[in-house]
Structure 1
Amino acid sequence: MKPQALLIINFAFVSQQRYFIELAYNGTSYHGWQIQQNAVSVQELLNKALSTILRQPIETTGCGRTDTGVHAKEFFAHFDAQFAEGETNALESTPFRGRGGLNALLPYDIAIKNVIPVHADAHARFDATARSYQYHIHFNKDAFLHGFSWQLRDEPNLELMNQAAVMMMEYIDFSCFSKSNTQVKTNNCKITRAEWVKTEQGIVFHITADRFLRNMVRAIVGTLMMVGRGEMPPEGIREIIESKNRSNAGTSVPACGLYLTEVKYPYQLTPRPLTP
């Protein structure tokens, strides 16, 4: 009887690396960040581009979700990638190759800024400690602001709107500004900045909080506009918030003027030097 042949299998060592990816996008053509069944989203296109350049299935997790038509000047997502021992890392092997390769695969309105290796437990959504948004409004017809700012005919009272905005920071339950039927455990948010600022083009609302509810910023802006137009006094914001009823708040303003502008983390996100 011949001795049984030994079956030798070589297992290549595989390591997994988590990355944060920093990007910006013009949201006009997209149904928000999150993947949708019958609509194009930013996350869908990013997943496809990453899967192509890394030659493996990649699924990203975003720092939040932006609604249809909302823009992001700064947005973070994380993903995991696996590499066999000795394999060339397409994201880090050549300076800017990862960023340049991804940008070549993505449409003009999605721009990759950085690809940053992070520790295995880093989470783009749950680790974020603060997020900042801006809402832009202009008053004169401007061909270059169309789709990027909300045009109004009459300028509202900025002083009254800022009085109401300051009062909002005394509360944490913002159920009145949340889109209905959202699957969240709490409607509590800690707002640390809420301020209207006059600019050369018009006015901009700045708001920062630890987290935001769906449609929250656009509902807040719509409610503050009621104050600015003299439809209710600044103190009326208290009654609306304390009611916890979305129907008492103002109408959501158009998405075109809304931008996610900054996301903060408790650790520094520094791209490590790339090897030539």
Structure 2
Amino acid sequence: MRYFVEIAYLGTNYHGWQVQPNATTVQGELDFVLSKLLRQEINTIGSGRTDTGVHCAQQYAQFDHPDDLNGKNILHRINSFLPNDIAVKSLWEVKEDAHARFDATKRSYRYDICLEKSPFKQGLVWQYFRKPDFDKLQEAAKVLLEFEDFTAFSKMHADVNTHICDIMSTHWTKEGNNLSFHITANRFLRGMIRIIVGNMMEVGMGRMTVDYMRETLALKDRKRAAKHLAPGQGLFLSEVIYPEETFVREIRD
């Protein structure tokens, strides 16, 4: 049987999602707990890969197990063994051919910036102590909707066959000294959102024009885009969407 586990995590103490040798990762912690509880080796596949320090409100990961896990208190047991900064929100039986990464139709991210020093937001926002032009930020966000190829806004040596992404929506919101960038697409490239935010902040501060950013995308010029990289701690994976028929039933304790 195939299962999707829905999780949320604070990424501060982890070297990203994906398992790495000699590094603590969210996937590594989850695989260890599932393997221990289910008494077989579990290697999950996530709906996406977050970088070091990036947080997540909703991530799905798939695994296979021969038994029906309904009514076996599995959700409570998983959460009991996981660290406090990782939480399992739900567990689902899914179609046998469902794939957590390739079947997702939409992914939404949010990037939070605080324009004042706030000890209570440490590790959760990019603390940026200068005020960008908000209208310029919105203008820069709209430029993203003009393009499909985001080679310029991706890291080198990414394990992908294409740099084409269908950007569905982008916008900024503002509340007091807090800014948030929201973006939804069918997929994202490695480092893409952090590079986007870094470049948009250059536009907002008047150090880059909107036309220059547009030209960078058109030229697929990684070198001049990648030097403006926003830190990981302000980024949240906020939502992952699948076709409704992916899910068979929710597993209950």
Partner of 1:262: 239
**Offset of 1:199 from its aligned partner?**
2.0
CA contact (8 A) 1:114 1:271 kept: no
- Say which of 151, 161, 165 aligns to 1:185: 161
SS in structure 1 at match of 2:76: helix
**Structure (1 or 2) with the greater helix fraction:** 2
Query: 2:90, 2:251 within 8 Å by CA — same for their partners in 1?
Result: no
Q: Counterpart in 2 of 1:252?
A: 229
Q: Which amino acid aligns with 1:195?
A: H
Q: Which residue of 83, 86, 96 maps to 1:107?
A: 83
Q: Among residues 243, 266, 269, which one is paired with 2:219 in the alignment?
A: 243
> 2: distance between equivalents of 1:106 and 1:36?
18
TM-score, normalised by the number of residues in structure 1: 0.87
Shift of 1:271: 4.4
Deviations, residues 89-143 of structure 1 (Å, cap 9, x unaligned)? 5x3224xx11110011100000000010111001100000110100000012211
Once the two structures are TM-superposed, the CA of residue 272 in structure 1 deviates from its matched residue by 3.1
| 1:45 maps to 2:29 | yes
Structure 1 residue 270: Cα displacement: 6.8
Letter matched to residue 272 of structure 1: E
* Cα displacement string for residues 37-91 of structure 1 (whole angstroms, at most 9, x for unaligned residues): 11011111101111111111111000010001100010001000023xxxxx5x3
Residues of 2 paired with 1:128 and 1:200: CA distance?
Answer: 34
Q: Aligned partner of 2:228: which letter?
A: T
Flag the 1:274–1:74 CA change in 2: closer, same or farther, 3 A: closer
CA–CA distance in structure 2, aligned partners of residues 170 and 190 of structure 1: 10
Mapped to 2, the partners of 1:197 and 1:99 lie a distance apart of 35
Partner SS, residue 204 of structure 1 = strand
CA contact (8 A) 1:149 1:256 kept: yes
Q: Secondary structure at the residue paired with 1:58? A: coil
**CA distance in structure 2 between the partners assigned to 1:45 and 1:190 by the alignment:** 32
Q: CA RMSD in A?
A: 1.4
TM-score of the superposed pair, with normalisation by structure 2: 0.95
The one of 40, 43, 51 aligned to 1:59: 43
| Matched residue SS, 2:120 | coil
**Where does residue 196 of structure 1 map in the other structure?**
172
- Tell me, what secondary structure is at the counterpart of 1:56? coil
1:93 maps onto 2:77 in alignment? no
CA distance in 1, matches of 2:167, 2:124: 24
State the partner residue of 1:162. 138
| Cα distance in 1, alignment partners of residues 251 and 42 from structure 2 | 23
Tell me, in whole angstroms, the C-alpha distance in 1 between the residues paired with 2:232 and 2:251: 38
Work out whether 1:71 is the aligned partner of 2:55: yes
What corresponds to 1:31 in structure 2? 15
The secondary structure found in structure 1 opposite 2:213 is helix
- Find the counterpart in structure 2 of residue 272 from structure 1: 250
CA contact (8 A) 2:171 2:181 kept: yes
Matched, 1:135 2:111: yes
1:47 partner amino acid: D
2:15 and 2:51 in contact (8 A); partners too: yes
1:151-191 Cα deviation digits (max 9, x unpaired): 11111011011112112111000000110011211011011
Distance 2:107 2:125 in 1: 20
Bigger CA radius of gyration? 1
CA distance in 1, matches of 2:220, 2:252: 50
The answer to whether the 8 Å contact 1:135/1:204 transfers is yes
Paired position in structure 1 for 2:128: 152
Structure 1 distance, partners of 2:250, 2:118, is: 42
Unaligned runs of 5+ in 2: none
Greater relative CO, 1 or 2 (CA 8 Å, sep 6+): 2
The one-letter amino acid of 1:264's match is: I
Q: Is it true that 1:217 corresponds to 2:196 in the alignment?
A: no
Q: Say which SS state the counterpart of residue 206 (structure 2) adopts.
A: coil
